[in-house]
């Protein structure tokens, strides 16, 4: 079983890394919840990953939680087919949950596809239900449940989807560390950043806020420090990414 890294599954409301309680297979409490959803629906294998980005396409780099056999995790990661898999192709084409009776993890076109397919089938991962989800900070995940069952009814598929949405929402912040500034920005710092994003100079911002341009520069420098930025443009970009503006 894949033993979740402490840096992935985070306990505590502050999001700090703490030792996560694990069962005998190495699954933390959150992993156990996903496994329970799978078992309830006759799909004993589950997978939770980040949705791969262009600069981080690999399977292991995006893996968050799974109860796949460790050798399968290792061999699939080594095959380097995750980003080009049939699973990813389906999930990029729809926001709906998908079901396939054929293992979707091999690449769509891959000379080694038969070997990858056999690795999954030999371990009982044939049919798969999968969908993509966002948490409240817009982190993008893939959730998949696999086994050897027939296609679920629409209501059952919807129930699985809802259970996972509820679990991710309830356990918000425990899958991934949440991005944010290392210090809270003041209202004035955010005002100066907001006007800077609108293209205003320090002098113009000073007139709008009825403060000195020196004070505006001070607020912007403070905001840049808190956002770990080297200039105003980068500070504005990071503030937007953190949904502060």
Domain spans of the chain, in order of start: 29-170, 187-241
Read off the tokens for 105. Answer: 């993890």
Confidence grade of residue 14 (pLDDT, cut at 50, 70, 90): very low
What's the pLDDT tens digit per position in 141-192? 999 999 999 999 999 999 999 999 999 998 877 776 656 777 889 999 999 9
Please give the pLDDT value at position 132: 96
Are 185 and 195 a contacting pair, CB within 8 Å?
A: no
Q: What is the pLDDT of residue 3?
A: 41
Q: How many CA atoms lie within 13 A of 104 on its CB side?
A: 22
Common-topology check for domains 29-170 and 187-241: no
End-to-end Cα, the chain, rounded Å: 42
Q: CB atoms < 10 A from the CB of 97, how many?
A: 19
H or E element in which residue 29 lies: helix 29-40
Domain topology for 187-241 = Arc Repressor Mutant, subunit A (1.10.10)
Q: If one looks up domain 29-170 in CATH, what number appears?
A: 3.30.450.80
Q: Exposed, middle or buried by CB within 10 Å (0-12, 13-18, 19+), for 162? A: exposed
pLDDT at 194: 94
Q: What pLDDT, in 10s, does the model give residues 210-239?
A: 999 999 999 999 999 998 888 999 999 888
196-212: b or e for each residue (b if 16 or more CB lie within 10 Å)? Answer: bbeebebeebbeebebe
């Amino acid at each position: 079983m894949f033993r979740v890294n402490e840096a992935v599954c985070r306990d505590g409301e502050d999001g700090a890394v703490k030792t996560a309680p694990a069962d005998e297979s190495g699954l933390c409490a959150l992993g156990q919840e996903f496994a329970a959803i799978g078992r309830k629906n006759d799909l004993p294998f589950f997978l939770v990953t980040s949705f791969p980005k262009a600069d981080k396409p690999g399977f292991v780099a995006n893996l968050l939680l799974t109860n796949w056999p460790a050798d399968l995790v290792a061999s699939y990661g080594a095959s380097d087919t995750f980003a080009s898999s049939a699973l990813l192709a389906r999930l990029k084409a729809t926001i709906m949950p998908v079901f396939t009776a054929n293992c979707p993890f091999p690449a769509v076109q891959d000379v080694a596809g038969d070997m990858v397919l056999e690795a999954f089938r030999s371990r009982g991962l044939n049919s798969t239900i999968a969908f993509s989800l966002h948490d409240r900070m817009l982190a993008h995940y893939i959730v998949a449940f696999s086994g050897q069952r027939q296609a679920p009814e629409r209501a059952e598929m919807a129930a699985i989807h809802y259970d996972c949405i509820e679990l991710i929402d309830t356990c918000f912040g425990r899958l991934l560390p949440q991005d944010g500034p290392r210090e809270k920005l003041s209202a004035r710092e955010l005002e100066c950043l907001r006007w800077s994003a609108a293209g205003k100079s320090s002098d113009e911002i000073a007139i709008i806020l009825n403060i000195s341009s020196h004070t505006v520069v001070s607020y912007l420098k403070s905001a840049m420090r808190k956002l770990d930025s080297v200039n105003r443009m980068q500070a504005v970009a990071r503030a937007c990414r953190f949904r502060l503006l």
